[in-house]
Chain A
Amino acid sequence: MTGAWADTAYLIAGVCFILALKGLSAPRTARLGTLIGASGATLAVIVALTTPHLKHLGLIIGAIVIGTAIGLPTARRVRMTAMPQLVALFNGVGGGAAALVAAVEFLRPGKDISHAATADLAAIGFTILVGGVSFSGSLITFAKLQELMTTRPVVLPAGRWLTFGFAGAGVLFAVFLVPWPSSALLALLAVVSLVFGVLFVLPVGGADVPIVISLLNAFTGLTVAASGYVLGNTLLVIAGTLVGASGTLLTRMMAAAMGRPLTGTLFGAFTATAGAVGGGGDGAARPVRTSSPEDVAILLGYARKVVIVPGYGLAVAQAQHTVREVADLLTARGVQVSYGIHPVAGRMPGHMNVLLAEANVPYESLLELEAANSELASADVAVVIGANDVVNPAARQPTGSPISGMPILDVDLAQQVVFCKRSMRPGFAGVENELLYAANTSLLFGDAKESMSKVLAALKAQ
């Protein structure tokens, strides 16, 4: 396709992307939105492939086939609990691709780099810098979520200065690229940005990783926009900017849902680690009421209304199917069961809804924060499975706690509270949960899936 036709087709693709994002913002239109987005992307690729005088068409199509053969089965087969890290990985390769495109344009011999326009060189520098950060940063978030490395914040000695140093060097090299463009400087910039990406994500703790993925997603959008400028392609500029802007807003919304300012998420580990690590030790000696799966089964069997509060631990243990079986059994015996879903339960906002939907939990029984809290006030038993910070009453204190001000599920309003936990360790925020020591709280220690299986067996035996 040539000239005006190609531009029109790109415009249609751009409109598709806008409609896709719009559609994804409402539950009823979300799937249609994805379809529209994919159609727009397909159209854009066909237009690109029919560009006049395109060389190496066979190799290009071969590369697309390889990419599809890697991407499609991975997306189809991945377990839903591993989905956040897959999104991170996809985002990383996208950012890497944008940086590579910029590198190709920079190395192009036909285009004398010493005479290339200032704005082009600035855009290339920006793409390499931010695309590199997005690539290596996303790989680290993948490693954290896949538990290939610790999910706790990693703070290197003098980490803050190292991070700022590499950030400064990256910006400096990108700026130097404009007056002194050379391949050596480009390579140096690429290395520095890759290292900075690693340093940027290392100090972020496991629970905050989703926010960083969202931020890196916005970064990749901006690099795509910048490489679109270098190539003179309006579609890339529009699509990249759309993702950059909406991704930034989404990042802020996610951070707000977790009740933490964005800067605290990104740089919090540098200042807060001492307090967070110290929190765990002193509480361990205090008496708590442990209970057996049989006790819990009896408690649940005699309840009229039960609210289940699932969290990160449930996702990790893959306990959603077992929990659903327990809920089904209770429902069959006339117990009213619902699920209280905190906006940030799981590993990403909305992640818990996906996991429970996978286990065939009826959509109607998933209650959002406010509805769940009004149910909890009249509930006989609240069962907290693998969650801690999102039910910690310390968040109600206006100040003085890292989770202050975060909206929580009021499980303490229920008559009885059962905590299914692996250990007494505080939640990710490192804040002691007073509720664990309350008189009406019983603790069921162990892996969420094993514990719930035992509860299920005990219920069946009743």
Chain B
Amino acid sequence: MSSTAWLTVFVLAVFLGFEVISKVSSILHTPLMSGANAIHGVILVGAIIATGSTDDNLQLAIGLLAIVMATVNMVGGFAVTDRMLGMFAKPRRAPSSTETSSASSTGGETK
């Protein structure tokens, strides 16, 4: 790929990055940051490719360390984001949810 092609990808991704989160409520700032954090864990792909194409022991050691760190970033990042969002979802009853669940929730409140 030519340098201009890389630059094109970069510039378009910058605008896309601004665009996708432009309308986010402050309640979701923390999960959004955590989710973005998990996404850059994709450096794991780079770490695998770099490690898998070297024969030198020092580079292998550095590469494997990078893999461990990147995996912690990616796996931990997605897991903690999901846990955070799970806590939002739990107490919430969607207004359009099934009759049984709304009936049980109102029943619980009146008692």
Contact = CB atoms under 8 A, between A and B. Distances in A.
Interface of A: 13, 17-18, 20-22, 24-27, 30-31, 33-35, 37-38, 41, 44-45, 47-49, 51, 53-57, 59-60, 63-64, 66-68, 70-72, 74-76, 78, 80, 83-84, 86-87, 90-91, 93-94, 96-98, 100-101, 103-105, 107-109, 119, 210, 213-214, 217, 220-221, 224-225, 227-229, 231-247, 249-250, 253-254, 257, 343-344, 348-351, 353-354, 357-358, 360-363, 368
Interface string B26-66: 11111111111111111111111111111110111011111
Contact of A232 (B1, B65, B89, B90): B1
Nearest to A25: B24
Interface of B: 1, 3, 6, 9-10, 13-18, 20-56, 58-60, 62-92
Contacts of B89: 31
A86 B43 contact: no
7 closest residue pairs by CB, A with B: A67-B71, A245-B17, A71-B76, A241-B13, A75-B79, A94-B73, A54-B52
Contacts of B91: 357, 360-363
A239 B79 contact: no
Given A41-B41, A94-B40, A350 B28 contact: yes
Contacts of A18: 16, 20
B50 A60 contact: no
A231 B15 CA distance: 23
Contacts of B80: 75, 78, 83, 86-87, 90
Contact of B54 (A26, A38, A78, A104): A104
A238 B11 CA distance: 10
Nearest to A47: B45
Given A94-B40, A107-B58, A245-B18, 14 more contacts: A21-B20, A25-B20, A53-B53, A54-B48, A56-B51, A94-B73, A101-B66, A221-B40, A241-B9, A242-B20, A246-B21, A249-B22, A250-B36, A349-B30
B28 A27 contact: yes
B73 to A, nearest CB: 4
A113 to B, nearest CB: 13
B53 A101 contact: no
A24 B17 CA distance: 13
A211 to B, nearest CB: 10
6 contacts: A31-B89, A98-B40, A107-B62, A228-B46, A249-B18, A348-B29
Residue with the highest number of chain B CB atoms closer than 10 Å, among A22, A26, A235, A250 = A250
A interface, over-half SS: helix
Nearest to A348: B30
Contacts of A224: 40, 42-43, 46
A241 B35 CA distance: 14
A250 B70 CA distance: 23
Contacts of A220: 37, 40
A246 B79 contact: no
B97 to A, nearest CB: 12
A225 B7 CA distance: 11
Contact of A84 (B30, B58, B81, B86): B30
B64 A59 contact: yes
A329 B60 CA distance: 61
Nearest to A228: B46
A228 B66 CA distance: 14
Given A24-B32, A55-B55, A104-B63, A67 B48 contact: no
B46 A236 contact: yes
Given A31-B86, A104-B66, A22 B43 contact: no
A84 B84 CA distance: 11
Given A18-B16, A41-B42, A48-B49, A71 B71 contact: yes
Nearest to A123: B6
B6 A229 contact: yes
B67 to A, nearest CB: 4
Residue with the highest number of chain B CB atoms closer than 10 Å, among A33, A119, A214, A350 = A350
A220 B43 CA distance: 10
B18 to A, nearest CB: 5
Contacts of B36: 21, 24, 217, 221, 242-243, 246-247, 250
